[in-house]
Amino acid sequence: MKRLASRLTPNVKKQPRVTLNQMVFATSAIIYQLLVTLNRSSLLLPRERTLTTHGIFPTVQERNKIESIPVFYNVYVANQSDHERVQSLVGEQLSYLQSFHRPVYVHTIGHEISIPNTTLLGHHVNASELVTLHSLWEYCQEHPQQKVVYLHSKGSYHPSKENDHMRQLLTMGALSEECAIQTDNVVSNVCSYRFSPYPHPHTPGNMWLAHCSYVNKLLEPFIFDNDMIAVEARLVYARGVHPSCVGSERFAAEHWIHSHPTVKPSDLYSNAYFAWGYQGLAEYQPGDFEWKLAPRYHMYDWPTGCKYSDLAHRLKEYRLLYNMTPRGDWWGWNFWLGPSDRPHWSDQPRKRRRQHQKQMRQQREAANSTQDSNRKEERQQQEQAATATQ
Residue 90 lies in a domain: yes
Largest CA distance in the chain: 131
Q: Report residue 232: phi and psi, to 5°.
A: -60, -45
| Tens digit of each residue's pLDDT (9 = 90 or more) over 47-106 | 333 333 334 444 545 555 678 999 999 999 999 999 999 999 999 999 999 999 999 999
| Torsion of the alpha carbons at 289, 290, 295 and 299, rounded to the nearest 10 | -60
Q: Over 80: is that where the pLDDT of 327 sits?
A: yes
Among 182-196, 270-284, 328-342, the minimum mean pLDDT is found in: 270-284
Q: Report residue 37: phi and psi, to 5°.
A: -60, -45
How many whole angstroms separate alpha carbon 178 and alpha carbon 124?
33
Q: Report residue 361: phi and psi, to 5°.
A: -65, -40
Q: Over 70: is that where the pLDDT of 3 sits?
A: no
pLDDT value at residue 213: 97
Averaged pLDDT score across all residues of the chain: 77
Q: Over 70: is that where the pLDDT of 382 sits?
A: no
How many whole angstroms separate alpha carbon 28 and alpha carbon 22?
10
**Residue 157 banded pLDDT, cuts 50, 70, 90:** confident
Residue 160 lies in a domain: yes
| pLDDT higher at 115 or 163 | 115
| Tens digit of each residue's pLDDT (9 = 90 or more) over 300-314 | 555 566 777 788 889
How many whole angstroms separate alpha carbon 219 and alpha carbon 83?
34
Highest mean pLDDT among 272-286, 314-328, 330-344, 355-369: 314-328
Residue 10 lies in a domain: no
In which domain, by residue range, is 120 found?
60-365
pLDDT value at residue 334: 84
Residue 8 lies in a domain: no
Residue 66 lies in a domain: yes
Entry pTM:
0.70
pLDDT value at residue 344: 36
Share of the chain above pLDDT 90, in %: 44
Residue 7 lies in a domain: no
pLDDT value at residue 18: 46
**Residue 315 banded pLDDT, cuts 50, 70, 90:** very high
Task: Give, as one character, the DSSP assignment of residue 201.
Answer: S
pLDDT value at residue 21: 46
| pLDDT higher at 109 or 343 | 109
The structural domain count of the chain equals 1
pLDDT value at residue 284: 66
Residue 79 lies in a domain: yes
| Tens digit of each residue's pLDDT (9 = 90 or more) over 196-250 | 888 899 999 999 999 999 999 999 999 999 999 988 887 765 556 788 888 998 8
pLDDT value at residue 359: 56
pLDDT value at residue 303: 57
**Residue 2 banded pLDDT, cuts 50, 70, 90:** very low
Residue 158 lies in a domain: yes
